Homo-oligomer: A and B are copies of this chain.
Amino acid sequence: MASPPRPRIRDVAEVAGVSATTVSHVLNGKGRVDEATRARVIAAAERLGYRPNSTAKRLRSGRADTIGLLLPFGAAAEHAQHILAVEFYLTLAMSVVEAAFDHDQALLQLPPLRAPEDLRRFVVDGAIVVDPLPADPRLRLFDQLGLPTVTVGRDAARPADPWWVATDSTAGTRAVLDHLAAAGARRIALLTVDIEWSWFVEGRRAYTAWTHDHGIEPITILTRPDRLDSSAVEAATAALDLEPDAVYAPPQWLATGLLKAAKERGVRVPDDLLVSVGVDSQLARTGEPPLTALDLAPVRTAREAVDLLVQRIEGRASGGSRLIPAELRPRRSSTPSG
């Protein structure tokens, strides 16, 4: 059971017949080292199975080579997982892990932060905060500790802050609406959730502007983000009462609630009603009918966020916000038959 003691740099030095300094130089590619010496050191390190102690490196360098990820929900807040779609967040998280790895960073998954002390025990060089609310107290926490952050989604309360990555909600919303209009819709309703994440706020604004530009009466149904399972069908039914010929429901749970409400009422999709959801998922791809959706590009979003955070941590000035385009995936739910 007891594993053999792990070799230290001095063990490698001893075997190679050199000093620890030289071993360090060889292993880190610093300084000039004789070719023969280098070979001996590498052979010794390999033979001993040496791997440098990261903790010691960190103490020396002051860098943790670890970034934190803060998702907008915990395990208990089940309902929050459905705000957009579970898959989006899982793919985002796994992509952040892999992108961090490619940057030689480890990824610490942070729990929901309740008190300032909560954050103190985590050793990170910075963090990615997903879906900040305006003036999000979590961001203030990081600021207080002097830890750099990058947000996925904008913090509306800090319009001047350039450290964010976000899917282009405005353009995405327009793409959906243009698509529905091109398919013949004249009364397009927006069925969405009343939450201050920039994706939703900007989507609502874009909808209002688009309907104004097209001389179309805006029909907006807002739901509260709690009591999801039950409220979706209620809200969708309220939307159908207004007799739209198309509905754009950004969150997945509202789109599925809409399908259910339509069915109960004998409204056929797409024949009587065109539908689009705001986030792609397996459900959208393979459901009945398949749902037109926006691909929010979680993989790319993750990579850009990690990229930007690493730049910020390293003090490289080239940072700045990054707007990611969402791509429309037209499917049967918005394709009039015949």
A109 touches B87 (CB 8 A): no
Whether A260 lies near B288 (C-beta < 8 A) is yes
Assess whether B107 is in contact with A108, with CB atoms less than 8 Å apart: yes
**Chain B: which residue is nearest A112 at the CB level?**
B98
Closest B residue to A63 by CB, please name it. Answer: B55
Known: A109-B107, A286-B256. Contact between A87 and B95, CB under 8 A?
no
Given contacts A55-B58, A91-B78, A256-B286, contact A97 B73 (CB under 8 A): no
Alpha-carbon distance A287/B232, docked complex (angstroms): 12
Nearest-Cβ distance from residue A3 to partner chain B, whole angstroms: 3
Is there contact, CB below 8 Å, between A282 and B253?
A: yes
Q: Out of B55, B71, B257, which one reaches A64, CB within 8 Å?
A: B55
A283 CB–B CB distance under 8 Å: yes
Q: Is the CB of B78 within 8 A of A97?
A: no
- A121 an interface residue at 8 Å Cβ cutoff? yes
Residues of B within 8 A of A198 (CB): none
Residue contact B90 to A86, C-beta cutoff 8 Å: yes
| In the complex, A302 has a CB within 8 A of chain B | yes
If the complex has contacts A97-B109, A101-B111, A121-B54, are A260 and B286 also in contact, measured as CB distance less than 8 A?
Answer: yes
Asked if A75 and B302 make an inter-chain contact with CB atoms under 8 angstroms apart, the answer reads: yes
Q: Shortest beta-carbon distance, A209 to chain B, in Å?
A: 32
Separation of A51 and B53 alpha carbons in the complex (Å): 23
| CB of A135 within 8 Å of the partner chain | no
A-B pairs with beta carbons under 8 Å apart, 12 shown: A6-B146, A53-B59, A54-B121, A55-B59, A55-B64, A66-B108, A76-B98, A76-B299, A81-B87, A81-B91, A101-B118, A108-B108
On A, residues with C-beta under 8 Å from B are: 3-4, 6, 51, 53-56, 58-59, 64-66, 69, 71, 73-76, 78, 81-82, 86-87, 89-91, 93-95, 97-98, 100-101, 104, 106-112, 118, 120-123, 146, 229, 232, 253, 256-257, 260, 263, 282-283, 285-288, 298-299, 302
List of 8 A-B pairs having minimum Cβ-Cβ separation, nearest first: A3-B146, A75-B94, A75-B95, A101-B111, A51-B120, A55-B58, A54-B123, A97-B109
